[in-house]
Structure formats: C-alpha cells, structure tokens
Structure 1
Amino acid sequence: MRYSVAPTAAKQIDLVKGNFNNGGQFQIILGTGIVDNVYAEFVQLAHASESTKEEVKLEAAQKMNPVQKLLKTLADVFVPILPALVASGLLMGINNILTAQGMFFPDKSLVEAYPQIADLAAMINMASNAGFTFLPVLIGFSTAQIFGGTPILGAVIGAIMIHPDLMSGYDYGQALLDNTVPYWNFFGLAVAKVGYQGTVLPVIVAVFFMSVIEKRLHKVMPAMIDNIVTPLLSVLITTALTFLFIGPVMRTVGDAMTSAVMWLFFDLGALGGLIYGITYPLLVITGMHHSLVTAETQILANIETLGGSPTFVVVACANCAQGAAALAVMFLAKHNAKMRSVASASGVSAWLGITEPAIFGVNLKLRFPFYAALIGGGIGAAYATMVQVLSVSQGPCGIIGVICIRPDCMLQFLVSVVIAIVCTFIITFVFAKTIGRKQLATL
C-alpha cells in the first residue's frame, strides 16, 4: 500500500496530533478518547476487514531486520509483565520512604519514629520483593506465550530455575571463590546445582527451547498420550539442557550485559551518562527502548550487590527534556492554537514519563526541539551519572519517578531532572532563532 501523500494530508486534520513510521507501520497519533470513533468510521468507509493485534504485529515483523526482530522479541517478553515490575518498584519506593534514615527525622526513620507502622512496613517490603524474587516465573510464562509454548509450562521452567533446593544464584560468585559450589553427577558429568535468581536471559532462552521442543512433540506424539507425554518430555529435556548448557552460557552473557552497562556509567562516568541520555530518545523513535528493560531488570534483580541501577535517572532526564522542548514550543507557537494545545498536553505527559506524544507530535515534526532535547537530556544525564544517582526499582520515568530512587539520591535526582529541563528549554529557544528559523516560520 502506498501512502506517500498521507503524511501531508494527515497534518491538515485538526484531530491529528502527529504521524510517524515505526516497525513497518504508518501510525497516526489522535487525541485521547476519539481513536475508537475514528477507527470505526474508517473501517466503514474503507470497507476494510479487521485484523487482530497479533496479526498486525506479525505483518509488521516481516519488514524488520534480524536485530530489530531480536529487540522486538525482548520487548514483547517484558511488556506484559511491566505492570508487575512497576507495582513492585513503587511498593519498594514506599518502603524506602518508610525505612530511610534521616529523611524526616534526624538519625531516625518513619518506622522508628512510629513503631505502630512497623508491621505495615514489613508487609509492604514483602510485597515489593515478590515480583523480583519470582521474576523467572513471570518471564517464563510470558516467554512461552511469545514463542507458542504452553505458558504454564514456561512458568514451571522458571520455577525450576529458582527452586529452593538449588544454591541461590546470589551466592554463586562467593561459592566459586570458596570452592563450595554443589554439583550433581550426571553419568560422570559434574553439573552445578545452582539457581538463576537475579537473571533474565537464561530463562528466556530456556523457555524458547522448551516451546520449540513442545511444538515438535505435539506434531509427532499420538493424540492418546500427547497430553501426558509431551509436557513430561518438554519439561524434563529443557531442565537437562538448562543446567547443562543454556544456563551457564546465558548467565555469562547476562553478566556481560550488566557489566557493560555498569562500565558505561561507573567507568566512563559523566561521558557514559551523556551517551546513554542522547541515545535513549533515538531508540524511542524505533520502539526499541523496551528492550533496555532486559538489562535494567537484571541490574535491579542484583540490587543487593550492585547498590542500585544508574539507568533510571538517565531515562527520566531524557523524558523530561522532551517534555521541556515541547513546552518551549508552546510558548514559541504564539499564533498556532493547535500546536500550543498539542505541545502543552504532550509536554506534561513527558514529564510524567510518556514521551511519544511530545516526540512524534511536536519535537520531531519541527526537528530543532528534538535536537535541543537530546542535548539537554544528555547534560542532565551526565550530571546524574557524575554524582551517581541510583534507583532501587522501576517506575514512571519522569519527575514522579523520584519515589523509585534511593533515599540518599533523591535530591540529586531532582537536581538532574531540573538541569535537563532548564538546559533544554534554553537551547530550544536558541535553536528557534538559529537553525530552526524555517520551521518556526511554519507555526
């Protein structure tokens, strides 16, 4: 289907907030509450047949290169479980507020000042840890859905990998140093009896193989015994492959990913934050930013040893910078009521962590605000990395994300975000008078 004229024509419609190409699709941004009405009218006028969400995804995936497909797969695995991670993260933030020393009272936490809420804090702490403690189970369920396996069997594989009979994965490094790693003896082959707590990639790959094995067995197994033998063999074969090959290899790959992120932030310092802060909005344009959840989740799952994640504040700075650029356009577009409306709403949305309306509806359309946001967000991210702002959970990557930050870093988080906002706002006005004069004249 050709749509060479569609972008230009779409811009002339008042209800249209923006349009862009993403993952082989031409997408139009509409105002909240009207998209269903527009869709129903479009289907009727075009005499078009409806497709399911899965069918649309499959069609779009055909136009992606292998790297895009890999990143999309990682994103598809994590997007369904994000609500659980966000809920756990926000509960963890609440627990931090209740238990942080010196936040409200000198040398004392809220729980110590009000002992009657101690049990409530303990319950919140337990609830906040559950999502990360049983993360492999959630990932296993979601991965099986993506690759066509039985989701509950994927959850079983995830549960096997963190079974309490195994040595905790958190103790594996020290056990290696102490030479105390327990082993199974499989016909003379020593296999480490170690769990995969705090890991992400091992369970994804293990459940992928389980899904492949299960689908192959369904094709060859007689119907009479299929429901009994196929689950048995799928779980048994996958368990053996996981502890023999998949787990050790993917643990190494996952550790390398975590080490790369930590090197970027803690060895390169401000430069690493600047690079990440500038790169993140570029990934948002392609939709690949969801794949970054893989590394973020692995870091947070090892928070006891790593102390926190440095990536959350960088994303928050990048998001708030996009919002600041959009709000700057609101002031610049004095004679364009539609642009002022879109810029104000999308700017506030970006400050709350949702940047797509600001990026596609305002900043990319004019280009110079997007460039300003890249620079301003990078400056804020560089400062945050320099002072080592760390988060303890996932959550909304905007101003309100302060609840997800380590208590001793909360003030510096707000300073970093303000730097990103102020710098972007100023740079947007400067660019409007220099490289963006032609675009500004169109407002």
Structure 2
Amino acid sequence: MSKDIKKVVLAYSGGLDTSIILKWLREAYDCEVVTFTADLGQGEELEPARAKAEMMGVKDIRIEDVREEFVSDFVFPMFRANAVYEGVYLLGTSIARPLIAKRLVEIAEETGADAIAHGATGKGNDQVRFELCAYALNPAIKVIAPWREWDLQSRTKLIEYAEKNQIPVPKDKRGEAPFSVDANLLHTSSEGKVLEDPGVEAPDYVYQRTVDPVDAPNEPETITIGFEKGDGVSVNGEKLSPAAFLTKLNELGGKHGVGRLDLVENRFVGMKSRGIYETPGGTILLAAHRGIESITLDRGAAHLKDEIMPRYAELIYNGFWFAPEREMLQALIDKSQEYVTGEVTVKLYKGSAQVVARTSPYSLYSEDLVTFEEGTGTYDHHDAEGFIKLNGLRLRTFGARKAKFGF
C-alpha cells in the first residue's frame, strides 16, 4: 500500500460495504478518511449515514443535497439529447456518477486529501465511470478501489470482517440479499440475486417506485408539461425548480405504472447484465420532449439529433461525461434547443405516457401547408412532379440495367 496517502475522500452511503471500506482504508493505508454522501433524491434518510460515520470516528463528514444540481446540470442536458442506451435505457445510474465524482475531486482539493475512494465492484460499470470522470477533472488524482485490492470477495467474508471490527450488520444482510438497489431522483435500479436469470420474470416486490400497470387507475390522467429551450419548467401550469419538476413527474408516473423496464444490457466492461429499472418521471419527460421537438425542430436538425443520440448515450453509459467529444456533442444539442419552447399534453394510463397535443410560439407546423382542403396557394402541387423525377432518376437507371441483364 502507498505510504504517501495520508487522507482519502470516500464516497460513503452508510451501508455495509462502504462502512467496511471506511475501516479497511484506515487499516490498509493508515490514513484519515473524509466521507462524502450525496443526496441525489434516493428517497432515504441520510442522517443515519452521518451517525454511523461519527460512531466510526470520522471527523470530517460531508452530506450534501445536490438534487437541484443533479437535475439542472446533468439530467436536463442529457434529456435535451433524448438519450437512451441500447434503445430503451434512460441512463439513471450512469448520469449520477459524474456528479459524485466531481464532488469527490472538489472535496479532495478542499481538504488536501491525497486520494479518493469508491465502493464500486471490479465487475461493474461504476468503477469506470467514477474513475474516468475523476481523471478528467484532476489528472493527478489517486483513486483507491478496494474491491480490486482486498480479499473480501464474498458476502460471508464481508460480514465476518464487519463483526470482527464491530461494524453494525443490518439483519437483512446476514442472509442472501434478494437484490441490489441503486436509486436517485431519476430512477431506481435493481440488479443481482433473484434477478440474475433473465429467463425468469422479476418478482413483484422488486418494483418500488411504480404501481403495477394492471393495478393503476382505470381512468387516464391528462397533464400539461411546459418547456423552455428544451428543459421542463412547469407541470399543469405550475412553475417548478428542476428537482421539484422531476419529483412531480415521478409521482404522476408512479401512480400510473409508467416507466418500468426489464433489460439485459451490455456493460462497458464486456459482460451482459440484467436489471429492472423504474424511471416514471423520465419516461414522461422523454415523450413530452420529443413531442415539443416534433413541432419546433427542422427536419434536418431533428434527424441529425437522432443520428448522434446513440453515440451520446453510449458516452454517458461508459463514463465519458467530461470527455471533449461529449462536450462537443452537447454544444450541438444545446444549439438545437433554442426554439424548443411550448407546452405538451400527455395522457397517462396503465403504464403508458402518450403525447396527445403540443403547442409552441415557435412552431414550424403549418396547417395551411398540410390541409386536405384548399390552402392559400403557398404550395404548388405541380412542383412535386419534378421533385419526384429528379429523385427517381438513379432508380430508373438502376431499374433499366436490371431489366437489361436480369440481375
């Protein structure tokens, strides 16, 4: 172990794993540990984390409410891109990691710490995300990943270590935990144990943020979402802060069973994994954002956004939030949102979020152009003949050769 590490900033949840890491860091590195716990809207009381850190002798305990920053500076920019990984995943875990890494690096600089540490395992994506983000922000930062260093590679060994060092072990950790949960204001993610076989349907008790669509209200609920330059700003006419906006959509979506996803995804580290995701507010926001873009974006701009979206989503999933290519794409995306302002009406019913109306002062939609009735004459039907002949020229040439040679 490095002897020049005297102080470490640990991403600390107060759970069993990070509490063990806290003790292990002191033993392995003989260093002071500063704990950082982020309130990302995970819905848990965070003061027990403070109490546990105090009990373990930590002098510098940081617990921060970063919900507004999370939504305004990370979630909203991502949703301007309509980003989904592998066609369906709304990146709820992925987008939280850059903010945590950013604060770890900043606190390390504030406190004069020599390193940061995280509790991500050696099999997952989070180790990559934390560390790539940290290195982008501070190229000289040292990162300690205990799961890649210690020999505590089983739940039994972790519990034995905890009991040996008088670290409280929650009762539900003494047996086989049914699954692992990660949550924030955007989503809830459940993985492992009872969910590891993708051929078996997930038990009902896995879902925590949404009701079963079968049990959702039998009457649809219609809501109106306001946008300004691509970001959600109001629900049913009420102006809300970014975090309050997403919280409200979560409540509405959860009640109607919106945003459930059972996914087998391709991890960046090379393996496939199965996860159950609940993103009620995000699912509504994505539908509504695409709805307002449908009348405010030019066709070329809209199609270009759709072309680059998978690349943008993959960058976030893989941990490259602070990479120059992500920032370049963000500049393009943000430019496209200058006129994405207006209101979208969404109908929520039995797990679905359906756009049913959209209006904008900057709408490109022209009833005069698309009407089946007689318009004002701004569109000349005869122009279509030349347009079709020019676009069909190569096809006629290709067809002539095929007719001549038979293949």
Question: Is the pair's TM-score, using the shorter chain for normalization, greater than 0.5?
Answer: no
Q: Which has the higher helix share?
A: 1
TM norm structure 2: 0.30
TM norm structure 1: 0.28
